[in-house]
Chains A and B, each alone.
Chain A
Amino acid sequence: MSTRALILRAAALILLVAFVTMPQLFAFAFAPLTANNAPAIYNQGSLLALTLSHVRIVVLATLASTLLALALGIFVTRPAGREFLPLSRSLVNIGQTFPPIAVLAIAVPLVGFGEKPTFIALFLYGLLPIFENTLAGLTEVSPRTLEAARGMGMNARQRLWQVELPLALPLILAGIRLSVIISLGTATIGSTVAAKGLGEVIIAGLQSNNVAFILQGGLVVALLAVLLHDGLGLIERAAARRLGRPVDEIA
């Protein structure tokens, strides 16, 4: 990453932290967007608390979906789970046609309002990209590599942990990154079912016709998304670089 890009990222991070901790400093920028002396900065709760709970639910849901998606992805690529592989492939394709808001709306009748339906929607929707990429990563490990590992006397467990998973890691991380970005946006919709998050700010803006609120909520989520996207991208590239040489030697 070039120095200029790094400086831009650092500036975005500082802007984000400054904005959520001391939003009043930025009131001047939002004041022109309000009408009838409406408040320029969200005043029905702390932006910091909302941001933290927004991030918390995204992180928790992504952790849960990562665990399950990894376990499922490993299972269906083992001999014992082969019979489930074709179906799980089509389920991933079908699942992605489900709109997130529909998942959220269908979860509400089952578990009620609040954090729970949002968590379920984020969890279910987050499963798909991670599972898809885990499958792609594990099935793309070349048979020759596996044969070589077997020839070295590795058992199935060693092959999984020392060969297959490390080789699949960059793709799995890419899936996690995609899942996080989708979840950040979907979590804002969660506020329509009373989950604590930045969607509250946006919806308050929609209800009181205050563009300043809408912009603030959107801006914080967008900054979070850009920063997380880049941060996770760095980890991904590091994982790929670490693999870079061995992969080339084998291929």
Chain B
Amino acid sequence: MNTIPSRTAAPGTPTLRPTLHLDRLGSVIAGLIGLALFLSPFVTYRANRIVSGEGRLLVDALPPAGALGTIVVVLGVALCAVLARRPLIRLAAASMGLGVIFPAVGFSAGFVTPAGNTFARVSPAIGFWLLALAFALIAADALTRLRFGPWGRLVALGIAAGGLALLLLSGAWNDLSLMKEYANRAESFWREARQHLWLAFGSMAAACLVGLPLGLAGHRIPALRNAILQGLGVVQTIPSIALFGILIAPLGYLAANVPLAAALGIRGIGAAPAFIALFLYSLLPVVANTMAGLGQVPADVIEAARGMGLSRRQRLFQVELPLALPVILAGIRIVLVQNLGLATIAALIGGGGLGTFVFQGIGQSAIDLVLLGALPTVALSFAAAIILDAIIDLTQRGAHD
């Protein structure tokens, strides 16, 4: 066991007696790991895709050598969480833990499924998810303490994405029920994923095109400001499924009576009402943040720009907008994360997107189909948040230089 000087020792005072430091957070996580490892099923085995299943503990879910190896690694990570102080060591331990249990659960699926049985389904169970959560917590804590800059965070995200891609492309998970659901509908999965991205990013782009000038107008003309903000605020209170639904009526009318609209593919149900609803929800963050960003540009900076002979247009594009950029981007981050989540609801009105699988899965009580829609949605919002946070940091740094 390694010994570490107590954290409570005053800096500079040499500790005479080496004391053992137990990390409180690490101890809690180690408890979670113990619970997950020995008391919770690692995978669930089901005779077919919709019956309820039986849990298998880790020792029954892998061949003896594999189970032993996995347990040793997991316990090693738990020990690291309790004893190691350096964030880098903890991060490495957590990554190793994740790097072992993710392939292990896929391997376990192949091991548990009887040979030749194509109906049986194996899914990760609560024990696996708790282990993944515990390791992710250690990694998140270590990453927080390491205080990576924007580039560091992007690299970390890239490594995580690369690991996930390797896992999926190598076929290590092919025996899991989740991937069987995917294999059955690979084509529609990518179609709906593209639709999801188009809905989320397209409506965000439209909201920027309309919202930036609107925000600028609100900034320049104080009388407009409150009217715009209040109007957009009311839109936010309408629940998403209602707004999606309400838009069906006017669009249906438009499609029936305006040939051009119908030719453009606008119909009452489908992607058009979903796109417009997402667009309407996106306006408030973009407009409010544009106003806030422009409002916080110091008056003497604008005065100085005027003194340098910059025209009104030059002041806007060369001084005000660059200085307001981080705040505007923060609004765009809110919009993007919100849209990637809300686009799931579009499936309810025939708008497609990854929500299609979520609602199909709910309808068939097929859990893994729900996950096939929900997990990519979560991953997309998570990645979008990290990337935009990094961009905001970079622009802020640029503004301060």
Q: Which of A94, A101, A205 contacts B358 (CB 8 A)?
A: A101
Which residues of chain B are within 8 angstroms of A222 by Cβ–Cβ distance?
234, 237-239, 242
Q: Is B355 at the interface (CB under 8 A from chain A)?
A: yes
Contacts A86-B145, A99-B341, A99-B381: A188 and B242 contacting too (C-beta < 8 A)? yes
CA of A7 to CA of B171, assembled, Å: 64
Look across to chain B and name the residue whose beta carbon is closest to the beta carbon of A199. B241
Provide the residues of chain B in CB contact with A211, threshold 8 Å.
Answer: 245-246, 248-249
B378 touches A98 (CB 8 A): yes
Complex interface bits, A60-98 against B, C-beta within 8 A gives 1, otherwise 0: 000000000000000000001101101101110110111
Given the complex of chains A and B, what is the CA–CA distance between A211 and B341 in angstroms?
24
B362 at interface, CB cutoff 8 A = yes
Cβ of B207 under 8 Å from chain A: no
| B385 in the interface (beta carbon within 8 A) | yes
Residues of chain A contacted by B106 (CB below 8 angstroms): none
In the complex, chain B residues whose CB is within 8 Å of the CB of A109: 367, 370-371
With A91-B140, A106-B371, A202-B239: A215-B246 Cβ-Cβ less than 8 Å: yes
The CA of A189 and the CA of B240, in the complex, are separated in Å by 8
Partner of A105, one of B234, B239, B342, B361: B361
Q: Does B234 contact A87, Cβ atoms closer than 8 Å?
A: no
Asked whether B144 lies within 8 Å of A218 as measured between CB atoms, the reply is no
Q: Show 17 A/B contacts (Cβ-Cβ < 8 Å), sorted by A.
A: A84-B24, A86-B141, A87-B137, A87-B140, A91-B137, A93-B385, A94-B385, A98-B341, A98-B381, A101-B377, A108-B367, A185-B239, A192-B362, A202-B242, A209-B248, A214-B245, A215-B246
Check A83 against B25 for contact (C-beta < 8 Å). Answer: yes
Chain B residues packing against A (C-beta within 8 Å): 23-25, 126, 137, 140-141, 143-145, 234, 237-243, 245-246, 248-249, 337, 340-342, 344-345, 348-349, 355, 358-359, 361-362, 365, 367, 370-371, 373-374, 377-378, 381-382, 384-385
Rounded to whole Å, the gap between the CB of B86 and the closest CB of chain A is: 15
On chain B, the residues within 8 Å of A113 by CB distance are 365
Q: Give the dominant DSSP class at B's interface.
A: helix
Contact B143 A90 (CB under 8 A): yes
Binding site for B on A (CB under 8 A): 33, 80-81, 83-84, 86-87, 89-91, 93-94, 96-102, 105-106, 108-110, 113, 181, 184-185, 188-189, 192-193, 198-199, 202-203, 205-206, 209, 211, 214-215, 217-219, 221-222, 225-226, 229
Question: Which B residues lie within 8 Å of A188 (CB)?
Answer: 239-242
Distance (whole angstroms) from the CB of B7 to the closest CB of chain A: 9
Contacts of A90 in B (CB 8 A): 140-141, 143-144
Tell me the smallest distance from the CB of B388 to a CB of chain A, in Å: 10
CB closest chain-A residue, reference B143: A90
Complex interface: chain B residues within 8 A of A184 (CB) = 239
Q: Which one of A87, A91, A203 lies within 8 Å of B241 (CB-CB)?
A: A203
Q: Could you say which residues of chain A place their CB within 8 Å of the CB of B140?
A: 87, 90-91, 94
CB neighbours (8 Å) of B237 from chain A are 181, 185, 221-222, 225-226, 229
Residue contact B234 to A102, C-beta cutoff 8 Å: no
Taking the closest CB of chain B, its distance from the CB of A3, in whole angstroms, is: 18
A228 to B373, CA, bound (A): 33
Residues of A within 8 A of B24 (CB): 80-81, 83-84
Q: Main SS of the interface on chain A?
A: helix
Query: CA of A83 to CA of B242 in the docked complex: distance in angstroms?
Result: 43
Chain B residue numbers with a CB within 8 Å of A206 are 241, 245, 348-349
Given A100-B341, A102-B341, A181-B237, the answer on whether A218 and B382 have CB atoms closer than 8 Å is no
Residue numbers in A under 8 Å from B348 (CB-CB): 192, 203, 206
Contacts of A215 in B (CB 8 A): 242, 246
Q: CB distance B239 to A99 under 8 Å? A: no
The list of the 10 closest CB pairs from A to B, nearest first, reads A99-B341, A218-B242, A214-B245, A109-B367, A225-B237, A188-B239, A87-B141, A211-B249, A102-B374, A185-B239
**A218 to B, closest residue via Cβ:** B242
With a CB–CB cut-off of 8 A, which chain B residues contact A219? 242
Find the A residue at minimum CB distance from B337. Answer: A97
Q: Give Cα distance in the complex from A217 to B377, angstroms.
A: 27
Which of B144, B248, B361, B382 makes the CB contact (< 8 A) with A97? B382
**A218 near B345: Cβ-Cβ < 8 Å:** no
Shortest C-beta distance, A188 to chain B (Å), equals 4
| Complex: A97 Cα to B143 Cα, angstroms | 18
Q: Which residues of B contact A229 (CB under 8 A)?
A: 237
**Chain A residue contacts of B349, Cβ below 8 A:** 206
Instruction: Identify the interface centre among B24, B239, B370, B381: most chain A CB within 10 Å of its CB.
Output: B239
B362 touches A106 (CB 8 A): no
Q: Which chain A residue has the least Cβ–Cβ distance from B245? A: A214
Cβ B344 vs Cβ A99 within 8 A: yes
A214 touches B242 (CB 8 A): yes
Please, which residues of chain A bring their CB within 8 A of the CB of B345? 101, 189
Distance in angstroms between the alpha carbons of A93 and B384 in the assembled complex: 13
**B137 surroundings in chain A (CB, below 8 A):** 87, 91
